[in-house]
């Protein structure tokens, strides 16, 4: 028995994939803009990144300093970010919140500077 030859994607397949990737990039940007507009004025808040991988979303909240992570309000901020992200995902038709897989991680800009030479891309690997 011979194996089926690999299917070569058509131009339409590539166009559909490009459109899907562009839509995910727009959604990620809209969520980041919303989180930054809501939390950007919080003193300890530094940055926010979100990545979508199929039905799963990984979000990273960066506070200024390591000591900010140990503050009581850090978990409260994390929970508020989760709520904001879920609202955005629901509003963009990504399903009800109980069907959305979202992982949110807290870290500090100080640690990224110290351990990754300030390179956030190295931090995400």
pLDDT tens per residue, range 12-39 = 989 998 998 898 888 889 999 999 999 8
Contact between residue 61 and residue 78 where contact means Cβ atoms under 8 Å apart: yes
Mean pLDDT confidence for 99-125: 94
**Nearest C-alpha neighbor of 48 from the set 106, 117, 110:** 106
* pLDDT confidence of residue 89: 92
**Nearest C-alpha neighbor of 104 from the set 94, 89, 122:** 89
Contact between residue 47 and residue 62 where contact means Cβ atoms under 8 Å apart: yes
* pLDDT confidence of residue 24: 85
CATH match of 12-124 with 3.40.50.10480: no
Dist CA 111 CA 91 (whole Å)? 33
| Alpha-helix residue ranges (DSSP H) falling in 40-108 | 66-69, 72-91
Q: Is the pTM of this model over 0.85?
A: no
């Amino acid at each position: 028995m011979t194996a089926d030859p690999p299917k070569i994607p058509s131009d339409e397949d590539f166009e559909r994939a490009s459109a899907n990737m562009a839509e995910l990039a727009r959604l990620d940007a809209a969520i980041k803009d919303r989180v930054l507009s809501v939390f950007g004025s919080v003193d300890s808040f530094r940055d926010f990144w979100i990545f979508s991988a199929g039905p799963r979303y990984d979000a990273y909240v960066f506070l200024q300093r390591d000591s900010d992570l140990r503050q009581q309000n850090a978990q409260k901020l994390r929970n508020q970010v989760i709520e904001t992200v879920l609202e955005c995902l629901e509003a963009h038709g990504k399903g009800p919140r109980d069907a959305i897989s979202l992982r949110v991680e807290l870290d500090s800009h100080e640690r990224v500077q110290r351990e990754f030479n300030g390179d956030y891309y190295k931090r995400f690997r």
